[in-house]
Amino acid sequence: MYQNFLSALPVANTNYVAFTFFIGTMAMMAAAVFFFFELSNVDQKWRTSILVSGLITFIAAVHYYYMRGYNLETGESPVFFRYVDWILTVPLMCVEFYLITKKAGAKVALLWKLIFASLVMLVTGYIGEAIYGNETQSWIWGLISGIAYFYIVYLVWFGEVATLASSAGPAVAKAVKSLGWFVLVGWAIYPVGYIAGTAGGLFGVRVFEGLSMDIVYNIGDAINKIGFGLVIYALAQSDKAKA
């Protein structure tokens, strides 16, 4: 009976991409539940930030559930659903920078700069991956997406976000620096996935060939989305301990 059961699920037993989607779903949902339940245990001024962290991971959990189903049914990469998830969650991650520096005088203009740059990064990435993914010129769209990404890196490490964080106190400065490392190192996982999954590769040269784009993306999502929320939660708890 056990062998018959296994033979009825050949794809599920060998599809490691689907397995990472499953792990991602569970991890994101657990993180969302944690952030939502901890809302009452942080100071009022940090609750919006914690709520956003919960929304990011909850949205990701729902999309991961559907992406796993799509992958199991078709055996293909759920590119469209992936970018729907990102178009909702990545701008929210940028909103976090605004929320934690707002007390130091961050303006709404900074929020829109971060959101606009993230949307350019995602839209051009989608065009390159979904429309031109099998053509060598996909690297051009990847380059435009990369420029938008490095603009966000600049704002966080050297621009307005960094300046505001340094004047907001050591706790906020430490948190922004930690989030900055997620953007600089954690978000760099996504270009690796893009290069591995498009014909254009890196400036027309195929590298990382044979590497699963979805596994790279799934690892990156789990690290970055959950990690973002935990850094902000640690900031809220640190501020609470000082009160």
The pLDDT profile of the chain, 243 residues, written as one tens digit per residue, is: 444 433 444 444 557 889 999 999 999 999 999 999 999 999 998 999 999 999 999 999 999 999 999 999 998 889 999 999 999 999 999 999 999 998 888 899 999 999 999 999 999 999 988 888 777 778 888 889 999 999 999 999 999 999 999 988 888 888 899 999 999 988 888 887 777 767 766 655 555 565 678 888 898 899 999 999 999 999 999 877 775
> How many C-beta neighbours within 10 Å does residue 8 have?
9
**Cα–Cα distance measured from residue 100 to residue 215, given in angstroms and rounded to the nearest whole number:** 31
- Our count of domains for the chain comes to 1
Rounded to 5, what percent of the chain is helix, strand, coil? 85, 0, 15
**Cα–Cα distance measured from residue 39 to residue 168, given in angstroms and rounded to the nearest whole number:** 22
* Residue span of the structural domain in which 74 resides: 2-242
List 202's β-bridge partners, or say none: 205
- CB distance 71 to 214 below 8 Å: yes
> What is the model's pLDDT at position 206?
59
**Cα–Cα distance measured from residue 112 to residue 213, given in angstroms and rounded to the nearest whole number:** 30
Check which CATH number belongs to the domain holding 223 and give it. 1.20.1070.10
